[in-house]
Amino acid sequence: MSCTHHACACRACAASQAKNKTENMPKSWVMVLFGGILFGAAFVWPSQTGRLALFVFSYLICGTEVLLRAGTNILRGEWMDENFLMALATVGAFAIGEYPEAAAVMLFYQTGEFFLHWALHRSRRSVRALMELQPQTVLKKNADGWEKADAQTLEKGDIFLVRPGERVALDGVVLAGCSNVDTSALTGESLPRQAGAGSELLAGVIALDGQLEMRALRPYASSAIAKILELVENASAKKTPTERFITRFARYYTPAVVAAAVLTAVLPPLVWPDAQFKTWIYRALIFLVISCPCALVLSVPLGFFGGIGAAARRGILIKGSGSMEGLAKGQTAVFDKTGTLTQGHFSLSGCYPAEGFDRENVLELAAYAESASRHPLALAVVEAYAKPIDRSNVEKVCEEAGRGVSARVNGRDVFVGKFAVQTAKTPFPSEADGATAVLVEVDGKYAGCLTLKDHLKPDAVQTVAELKALGFKQTVLLSGDAATSVRLAAEEAGVDAYYASLLPADKVKKVEQLLAQHSTGGTLLFAGDGINDAPVLARADVGIAMGALGSDAAIEAADVVLTDDKPSKIPQAVALSRFTVQIVKQNIWFALSVKAAVMLMGIFGWANLWEAVFADVGVSVLCVLNSLRPLAFKK
């Protein structure tokens, strides 16, 4: 089979491949059908001339494509590939009068081609399911009512309508209406959830039983589904060490095989008096046929492609086969706290004003200063204030990651952030209950303290337990929060170690220390919510962005993106990656061992060209079919 051609196809853009996913399958069917009919008829044809003609026609129907590719590659100076090996072997077979074997090589080649296209067709089902999420048209609101418009032309702020049974065209917020929505295509979650006024929905979600009027939060190009498709389209672009080895192996393997075949055909008759050229040329042809590296070059990228497609169907977007191999080698799992293992939705548990300030005054100033931030703590403060905020009264907003927010509110300088950041050594309420304490300063003076609480996600404990069951040697929790709240979260989740009061730069240093500690050959996974974690996601062996489809920095930095907030997807991704890598290794060892055995048999005269054909095509088909197993993976 054409290794070079189809290895490239496996890595090609998923979008364009999905559109013509089966265009080669009918051609393979036709070649196999008509080539097989002529091939079978040749054995029962009464005349010798007629038999030869039928073998030749069968050979040309099935083999012209290979001959043309071999000729084109020779003209380009790229002749050392499997097309050249097959062309040389079959032309040589014709030269020594082995017509049935020559035709059989090409017939079974086309049979293998059909199975390959069928396998690719199966492995792309998940990608095609995502492609179907692309919006086509949408009802857009204008001055005269509703008009049909191309969904990809809508901009931020446009209002559009989603009717029962329709997909949400763009990421947006519900203005009016109520409906149960199906998010399974994006998140893998089978249970519908309810959406009403104020709910934010991602593009690709289906409104099941109600009509929703929505306002677009971002244009289509920046929507969740557009980012998902971009990730999947480029998912196979990065080669793993295994794939790079196979590429280098094939580059040197083919010339070595041709040289060995030439020596097999020429040396024995020159050295041994009784050896005949025809016998040893035939054995050299067997060597050429069985040596085609198709099974390796095809099944390795196809195996990873199947694994990436299976992960995408579960709401786990793996950027490439290199990231999948990194997941499979995971030994250390590091988690950010807020928004990763915890829900990231804080609630105000206490407000402690300093002398000269009252509760309402402290909360109001803090809420105004935090109103421009999207940090979970800031959102909780604004939510607790629960009054309209006039942003015209807020000036000179400056947010520093991991430290806090400063702003000028109604003419007063307000800082809301960490106690350790400011020079004032003001005592604050105990965090024994796991609450996070936030400092409020006004005009450089201590104004009070807010305490906010977060809670673990329902599947956080399960996630840590499953990673340990998968053999992870260490689980670690990193957070910028105070030690008490981080310690309580770590104990509840069951992680092995925790580090608190870390700035983003401190997290990077801690990850580097952990990288230096874990054993050679293993990898470190870091999972973060994507708000302040982009540097750590990039530094880790495998960065996992949790529910961060809205964060361009996180998607750019992460190797894996989860389309929802469930950390339990991480052990699923690890288990699927290990299963996929195991299949790739099975293919490599199976193909090499069978080929080596039949090569030796051919040299000693214990195998003929028929057995070589069956062994080559059979090994390729079995490896390709084995590569489909990730699609049926069940945890």
Active site residues: 336
Name 146's bridge partners. Answer: 141
User: In the numeric block, which tokens belong to residue 165?
Assistant: 């049974």
Question: Are 543 and 334 in contact, with CB atoms under 8 Å apart?
Answer: no
- 3-class SS at 200? strand
Phi, psi (deg, nearest 5) at residue 437: -90, 135
Question: Are 238 and 319 in contact, with CB atoms under 8 Å apart?
Answer: yes
User: In the numeric block, which tokens belong to residue 31?
Assistant: 């070649």
- 3-class SS at 606? coil
Element (H, E) at 407: strand 404-409
Name 414's bridge partners. Answer: 407, 442
- 3-class SS at 248? helix
Give the C-alpha separation, 418 to 469, whole Å: 37
Half-sphere exposure of 397 (CA within 13 A, CB side): 15
User: In the numeric block, which tokens belong to residue 526?
Assistant: 């870091």
Give the C-alpha separation, 55 to 78, whole Å: 29
Give the C-alpha separation, 213 to 193, whole Å: 17
> Hey, what amino acid is at 377?
L
Alpha-helical (H) ranges within 132-240 are 184-187, 224-233
The interaxial angle of helices 48-76 and 99-123, nearest 10 deg, is: 60
DSSP 468: H
Reference 523, options 577, 582, 590, 569; nearest CA is 577
> Hey, what amino acid is at 352?
Y
Half-sphere exposure of 199 (CA within 13 A, CB side): 19
Phi, psi (deg, nearest 5) at residue 395: -135, 165
Q: What's the residue count for the chain?
A: 635
Give the C-alpha separation, 58 to 40, whole Å: 9
3-class SS letters over 332-370: EEEEEHHHHHECCCCEEEEEEECCCCCHHHHHHHHHHHH
Q: How far are the Cα atoms of 100, 379, 407 from residue 373, in angstroms, in the given order? A: 75, 7, 11
Give the C-alpha separation, 625 to 627, whole Å: 5
